[in-house]
Amino acid sequence: MSVAIETLDGLKRRVTLNVDSAAIEAEVKKRLVKVAKSVRMDGFRPGKAPMSVVTQRHGHEVHSEVFGQALQDAFFTAVETAKVRVAGYPNFAQAEGDSNAFHATFETFPDIVPGDLTQIKVTRPQVTVSATDVDRTLEVLRKQRLSYHSAERAAQATDRVHVDYHGTIDGQPFTGGEAKDFPVVLGEGRTLADFENALLGMSAGDSKTFDVAFPADYFAAEMAGKTATFTVTAKSVHEARLPELDAEFANTLGVEGGVEKLREEIAANLTREVDRRVHVRVKEQIMNGLLEVTPFEVPSTLVAQESHEMLQKTREEMKQRGMRDQDITLTDEHFAAQAKRRVSLGLLLGEIAKQNDIKADAERVRARIDDFAKSYEDPAEVVAWYYADPKRLGEVEALALEDTLVDWVLAKAQVTDEVMSAEQLMGSTQ
């Protein structure tokens, strides 16, 4: 076979392959002889079917296999000879006017020259967990465990009121407009503000009628922009009580040693979360900066593959949450931008690692695995599980290498430290 490689637009290339029809036919006959010796066909003993019958039944399939293999072999021989790095899979098409000539169109990997890393600007949060942060977290934990107790008085903010209600719009009932013993926590905002405010001051046994205006953008079109009239009867009023901040409360959280020990554990957890979020914020800035200083064309075939894989993964996750396959309307296009970013960063980070001989540090890999394992009942077993499988270990090594690359780029970037509170950081970085 003779080959010629053409350069098309950007990363696109085309290989013209001239196939040897005689060689293909010879290989087809050779394989059909092997098939004839083992194939089972009705009316014939094993291996005794006439070649004409074997060819009629299996000739097309065997020819397709041989021809496809010949094209694949010719293609990879051509790109190896030309030292071309192929991105994705080629598309084959017959050339016009020549039954023995075929075009293989494909993309190559880009030649990436990392830009000036010193031009990357990073703002690095400087955060110290304070006693106030611990106090705030303790209050959140207490509110998560509050209890309600019957109150023989009028309803106030934060109370839970159980009501029976009946609503109409223009004198007609509507979907969701009636309920019995419905709980409403005043001030929580789970129901419309007009409805909650009307319950303030009501005691058990009280009834009242009032109007509620539904906003124009209300999720239910039947009620959007309309005014409903509700008749409500308060069944009971319960006041919220926070648990005492004492050793018993600490025990409910699985902490022995009283409130001081609980505060220590909260501070340690907050510090770990702060460190994680600082890392996430810095890493995001590094990745954005790398892409800004190093523009390059990205193979569309790789982006398409990544988009499709992301779609399939998302579909599986949605089905596991109970969604029906026919109700999932996502397409590859929904993930195109994110896929392009992933592919771009993968290629760029890989090139930086290659050019600078940067590898995943064994200690960093182990630290990653230990971090994954510590939340399990038997961490040692989980650690062994990771190291027992090269594929699983490789996934962790990739994460560790990415962290190493981020640190390497950070050392060259323009870094400005910014002092902020833990509350500010938590509110801006997930």
pLDDT for the residue 40: 66
Q: Which residue has the tokens 């050019």?
A: 355
**Domains, the chain, with CATH or none:** 3-108 (3.30.70.1050), 147-241 (3.10.50.40), 257-428 (1.10.3120)
Q: Which residue has the tokens 């092997």?
A: 34
- Angle at 360 (CA atoms; ends 281, 290), nearest 5 degrees: 40
CA–CA dist 37, 35 (Å, integer): 5
Which DSSP category does 215 fall into?
P
What confidence tens digit (pLDDT) does each residue in 274-300 have? 999 999 999 999 999 999 999 999 999
| β-bridge mates for residue 101, sequence order | 18
pLDDT for the residue 62: 77
Report residue 291 as tokens: 């892409």
Task: Give how far the C-alpha of residue 112 lies from the chain's centroid of Cα atoms, to the nearest Å.
Answer: 27
pLDDT for the residue 43: 63
Which DSSP category does 96 fall into?
T
Residue 13 near residue 105 (C-beta atoms within 8 A): yes
pLDDT for the residue 73: 86
DSSP per residue over 9-74, as a string? Answer: STTEEEEEEE--HHHHHHHHHHHHHHHHHH---TTS-TT-S-HHHHHHHHHHHHHHHHHHHHHHHH
pLDDT for the residue 258: 95
Q: Which residue has the tokens 């994460």?
A: 399
- Give burial (CB, 10 Å; 0-12/13-18/19+) of 50: exposed
> Do β-strands 227-241 and 147-150 pair in parallel, antiparallel, or remain unpaired?
antiparallel
- Give burial (CB, 10 Å; 0-12/13-18/19+) of 140: exposed
Residue 169 near residue 226 (C-beta atoms within 8 A): yes
CB hemisphere CA count around 61 (13 angstroms): 8
Q: Nearest 5°: phi and psi at 62?
A: -65, -40
CA–CA dist 224, 216 (Å, integer): 5
Residue 165 near residue 159 (C-beta atoms within 8 A): no
Within the chain, which residues score under 50 in pLDDT?
Answer: 1, 429-430
